Structure 1
Amino acid sequence: MEDVTATLSKPALRIGPYEVDPPVVLAPMAGITNVAFRRLCQEYGAGIYVCEMITARAVVERHPGTMHMMTFGPNEKPRSMQLYGVDPKTMREAVKIIVGEGLADHIDSNFGCPVAKVTRKGGGAALPFKRRLFADIVRESASAAAEAGVPFTVKFRIGIDDDHHTYLDAGRIAEAEGAAAVSLHARTAAQRYSGKADWSAIARLKEAVTGIPVLGNGDIFAADDALRMMAETGCDGVVVGRGCLGRPWLFGELEAAFAGRPVPPGPKLGEVGRVLRRHAELLIKHDGARKALRDLRKHMAWYLMGFPVGSELRRRFAMVSSLDELDELIALLDADAPFPADAEGPRGRQGSPGKVTLPHGWLNDPDDDCVPEAEDMHSGG
Structure 2
Amino acid sequence: MSAAPGPTSGLTLGPLHVPTPVVLAPMAGITNAAYRRLCAEQGAGLYVCEMITSRGLVEGDQHTRDMLVFDELETVRSVQLYGTDPVYVGKAAEILCAEYGVAHIDLNFGCPVPKVTRKGGGGALPWKRGLLGEILEHAVWAASRYDVPVTMKTRKGIDEEHLTYLDAGRIAQESGCAAIALHGRTVAQAYSGQADWDAIGELAASVDIPVLGNGDIWEAADAVRMVERTGAAGVVVGRGCLGRPWLFRDLAAAFAGEQVATLPTLGEVRDMMRRHAELLCQHMGEERGCKEFRKHVSWYLKGFAAGGHMRRSLGLVGTLADLDGLLADLDPDEPFPVAELGTPRGRQGSPRDRVVLPEGWLDDSDGSGCAVEEDLHSGG
Per-residue deviation at 1:260? 1.8
Per-residue deviation at 1:2? 6.8
Secondary structure of the corresponding residue to residue 12 of structure 2: strand
Identify the residue that residue 296 of structure 1 maps to in structure 2: 293
* C-alpha distance in structure 2 between counterparts of 1:168 and 1:4, whole Å: 28
- The answer (yes or no) to whether the contact 1:122–1:372 under 8 Å persists in 2 is no
Identify the residue that residue 275 of structure 2 maps to in structure 1: 278
Per-residue deviation at 1:44? 0.4
Identify the residue that residue 82 of structure 1 maps to in structure 2: 80
Identify the residue that residue 52 of structure 2 maps to in structure 1: 54
* C-alpha distance in structure 2 between counterparts of 1:272 and 1:243, whole Å: 16
Identify the residue that residue 362 of structure 1 maps to in structure 2: 361
Q: Which residue, out of 21, 24, 33, partners 1:23?
A: 21
Per-residue deviation at 1:20? 1.4
Q: 1:267 to 1:9 in 2, by over 3 A?
A: closer
TM-score of the superposed pair, with normalisation by structure 1: 0.96
- The answer (yes or no) to whether the contact 2:61–2:377 under 8 Å persists in 1 is no
- The answer (yes or no) to whether the contact 1:56–1:90 under 8 Å persists in 2 is yes
Per-residue deviation at 1:77? 3.1
* C-alpha distance in structure 1 between counterparts of 2:155 and 2:377, whole Å: 21
Per-residue deviation at 1:99? 1.3
Q: 1:112 to 1:272 in 2, by over 3 A?
A: same
Per-residue deviation at 1:166? 0.2
Cα deviation per residue 1:85-124 (whole Å; 9 max; x = unaligned)?
A: 0000000111111112243111000000000000000000
* C-alpha distance in structure 2 between counterparts of 1:367 and 1:264, whole Å: 46
- The answer (yes or no) to whether the contact 2:8–2:20 under 8 Å persists in 1 is no
Secondary structure of the corresponding residue to residue 363 of structure 1: helix
- Map 1:1-381; keep pairs closer than 5 Å: 4-5=4-5, 8-210=6-208, 212-344=209-341, 345-354=343-352, 355-381=354-380
Per-residue deviation at 1:205? 0.3
CA RMSD of aligned residues (A): 1.3
* C-alpha distance in structure 1 between counterparts of 2:173 and 2:282, whole Å: 40
Q: Which runs of 5+ in 1 are unaligned?
A: none
Per-residue deviation at 1:377? 4.3
Per-residue deviation at 1:11? 4.1
* C-alpha distance in structure 2 between counterparts of 1:265 and 1:107, whole Å: 31
* C-alpha distance in structure 2 between counterparts of 1:252 and 1:21, whole Å: 13
* C-alpha distance in structure 1 between counterparts of 2:331 and 2:92, whole Å: 49
* C-alpha distance in structure 1 between counterparts of 2:2 and 2:37, whole Å: 32
Cα deviation per residue 1:149-196 (whole Å; 9 max; x = unaligned)?
A: 000000000000010000000010011001011000000000000010
Q: Which runs of 5+ in 2 are unaligned?
A: none
- The answer (yes or no) to whether the contact 2:213–2:235 under 8 Å persists in 1 is yes
Cα deviation per residue 1:218-264 (whole Å; 9 max; x = unaligned)?
A: 00010000000000000000000000000000000111111122314
- The answer (yes or no) to whether the contact 2:24–2:47 under 8 Å persists in 1 is yes
Percent identical residues: 56
Per-residue deviation at 1:371? 3.5
Per-residue deviation at 1:290? 1.6
TM-score of the superposed pair, with normalisation by structure 2: 0.97
* C-alpha distance in structure 2 between counterparts of 1:44 and 1:273, whole Å: 16
* C-alpha distance in structure 2 between counterparts of 1:330 and 1:174, whole Å: 47
- The answer (yes or no) to whether the contact 1:159–1:188 under 8 Å persists in 2 is yes
Q: 1:324 to 1:4 in 2, by over 3 A?
A: closer
- The answer (yes or no) to whether the contact 1:121–1:359 under 8 Å persists in 2 is yes
- The answer (yes or no) to whether the contact 1:2–1:232 under 8 Å persists in 2 is no
* C-alpha distance in structure 2 between counterparts of 1:357 and 1:325, whole Å: 44
- The answer (yes or no) to whether the contact 1:86–1:371 under 8 Å persists in 2 is no
